[in-house]
């Protein structure tokens, strides 16, 4: 069977039904058509996008797309799919079309009020969880905070969500999609290796600055049941989305969402927790002296990348500019966080900031010169695609 041409009217679902009723549109044929159409327009991960749209329209799980490939689409499903595919071919993000994005094994609601969570941002969550895990193991010789149980659960979820084409044969995947599958499998093995028996712990305080959809705060709350997270954003619209996501995923009691610019609400929140009653209500045996971890994915795209054709249209035209642009050098928000966050950390507390790769050297140098940061730990971590993506540094002390 010849795959229908994406922009050929005669080969569209509507035309096929009218001209040739026997030429039905099955799940297999629809996936092939969308995959080819999206690939021809340079859309990233075309098969994944096709799966997302088809499951959204039909209400199926992804597995069902491959266990029932000959299922025939209804007229209403074809009509809905035509509209969504047309918009996707104009580079409207599929996550906005379906109002869903996957992050660290969880399904989040997203719309134009928030940035779409990226796989590279999962790097911050992974390093934060590793830091808390090591600290707990060093202190007590075993994992605390319900972490073992939650990591085991995360291991089951992560592969299916991190790489949404798990049921597609390897030979049908692009090199990029095969790489993503291998990464998801390695992440699952890593998470399972760290899982173990544990007790529910208390006393971990984390800040998520520029929380957006709440993806990092929620992932951390799910992975670290003993933690309390302060999540901030300057956008009230973003905080509404984040709060709704937290409610859907059952972590509202352990995340405090606060509107404000960068670290200002973080300072206020830490001060409020000096009240023993408030500290106890948040799960602390005594008022915290600082944050165990501060994570941030601030706006960091420099002007020369924004205006120089280095940012894809699906990002520039549809995602919130407020969450993307980082000023002339990309450091308008990164720099004040790097300068002021260390004072809010506990001794040996961890700072993680997502950055533009072109600013990596400047950010690393600034971190190594900061009087409160341990020079030996300050450095840049590459993401899974090899880009210098995250500053990692710890506060001096032990």
pLDDT (tens digit per residue) in 117-134 = 999 999 999 999 999 998
Both 129 and 261 in one domain: the answer is: yes
Both 69 and 212 in one domain: the answer is: no
The whole domain housing 37 covers 9-98
Query: Does 57 have pLDDT greater than 70?
Result: yes
Fill in the DSSP letter of residue 357: G
Residue 202 lies in a domain: yes
Q: What is the pTM of this model?
A: 0.80
Task: State residue 223's pLDDT score.
Answer: 94
User: Using CA atoms, how far apart are residues 211 and 233, in angstroms rounded to an integer?
Assistant: 6
Residue 173 lies in a domain: no
Both 56 and 127 in one domain: the answer is: no
With residue 348 as reference, give the H or E element that holds it. Answer: strand 345-354
Task: State residue 21's pLDDT score.
Answer: 47
User: Using CA atoms, how far apart are residues 291 and 294, in angstroms rounded to an integer?
Assistant: 7
Residue 350 lies in a domain: yes
Q: Tokens 């927790």 sit at which residue?
A: 273
Both 134 and 231 in one domain: the answer is: yes
> Helices (DSSP H) in 163-251: which residue ranges?
175-194, 215-223, 236-248
Say if residues 219 and 158 touch (Cβ distance below 8 Å): no
Residue 77 lies in a domain: yes
- Per-residue buried b or exposed e for 256-284, using 16+ beta carbons within 10 Å of the residue's own CB: bbbebebbebbeebbeebeeeeebeebbb
Both 93 and 141 in one domain: the answer is: no
Task: State residue 198's pLDDT score.
Answer: 37
Residue 284 lies in a domain: yes
CA 196 to each of CA 137, 191, 199, 356: distance values in angstroms, whole numbers, following the listed order: 11, 10, 10, 36
User: Using CA atoms, how far apart are residues 352 and 367, in angstroms rounded to an integer?
Assistant: 11
Residue 104 lies in a domain: no
> What's the distance, CA 264 to chain centroid?
24
CATH number at residue 37: 1.10.8.10
- Residue 174: pLDDT band with limits 50, 70, 90: confident
How many structural domains compose the chain? Answer: 2
- Residue 141: pLDDT band with limits 50, 70, 90: low
Q: Could you say which of 39, 68, 98 is where a domain stops?
A: 98
Both 246 and 351 in one domain: the answer is: yes
For 352, list phi and psi in degrees, rounded to 5. Answer: -130, 120
Residue 44 lies in a domain: yes
With residue 361 as reference, give the H or E element that holds it. Answer: helix 360-369
Q: Could you say which of 66, 98, 130 is where a domain stops?
A: 98
User: Using CA atoms, how far apart are residues 300 and 323, in angstroms rounded to an integer?
Assistant: 8
Q: What are the pLDDT digits (tens) for 183-220?
A: 776 666 555 545 433 333 358 999 999 999 999 999 99
CATH number at residue 327: 3.40.50.150
């Amino acid at each position: 069977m010849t795959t229908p041409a994406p922009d050929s009217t005669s080969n569209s679902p509507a035309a096929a039904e009218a001209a040739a009723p026997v030429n039905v549109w099955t799940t297999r044929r629809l996936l092939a058509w969308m995959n080819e159409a999206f690939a021809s327009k340079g859309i990233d991960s075309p098969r994944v996008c096709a799966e997302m749209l088809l499951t959204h329209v039909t209400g199926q799980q992804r597995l069902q797309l491959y266990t029932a490939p000959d299922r025939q689409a209804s007229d209403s499903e074809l009509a809905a799919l035509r509209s969504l595919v047309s918009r996707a071919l104009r580079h409207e993000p599929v996550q906005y079309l379906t109002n869903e994005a996957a992050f660290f094994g969880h399904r989040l609601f997203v719309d134009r009020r928030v940035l779409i969570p990226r796989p590279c941002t999962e790097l911050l969550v992974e390093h934060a969880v590793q830091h808390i895990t090591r600290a707990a193991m060093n202190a007590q010789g075993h994992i605390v905070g319900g972490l073992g149980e939650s990591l085991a659960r995360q291991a089951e979820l992560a592969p299916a969500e991190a790489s949404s084409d798990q049921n597609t044969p390897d030979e049908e995947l692009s090199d990029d999609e095969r790489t993503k599958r291998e990464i998801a499998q390695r992440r699952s093995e890593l998470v399972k290796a760290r899982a173990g028996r544990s007790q529910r712990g208390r006393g971990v305080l984390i800040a998520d600055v520029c929380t957006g959809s709440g993806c990092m705060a929620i992932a951390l709350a799910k992975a670290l049941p003993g933690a309390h997270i302060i999540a901030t954003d300057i956008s009230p619209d973003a905080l509404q989305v984040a709060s709704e996501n937290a409610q859907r995923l059952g972590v509202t009691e352990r995340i405090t969402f606060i509107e404000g610019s960068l670290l200002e609400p973080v300072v206020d929140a830490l001060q409020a927790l000096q009240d023993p009653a408030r500290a106890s209500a948040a799960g602390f045996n005594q008022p915290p002296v600082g944050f165990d971890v501060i994570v941030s994915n601030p706006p960091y795209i420099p002007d020369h990348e924004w205006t120089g054709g280095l940012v894809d249209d699906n990002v520039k035209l549809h995602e919130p500019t407020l969450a993307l642009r980082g000023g002339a050098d990309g450091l308008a928000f990164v720099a004040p966080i790097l300068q002021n966050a260390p004072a809010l950390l506990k001794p040996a507390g961890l700072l993680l900031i997502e950055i533009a790769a072109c600013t990596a050297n400047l950010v690393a140098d600034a971190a190594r010169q900061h009087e409160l940061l341990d020079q030996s730990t300050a450095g840049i971590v590459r993401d899974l695609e090899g880009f210098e993506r995250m500053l990692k540094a710890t506060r001096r002390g032990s």
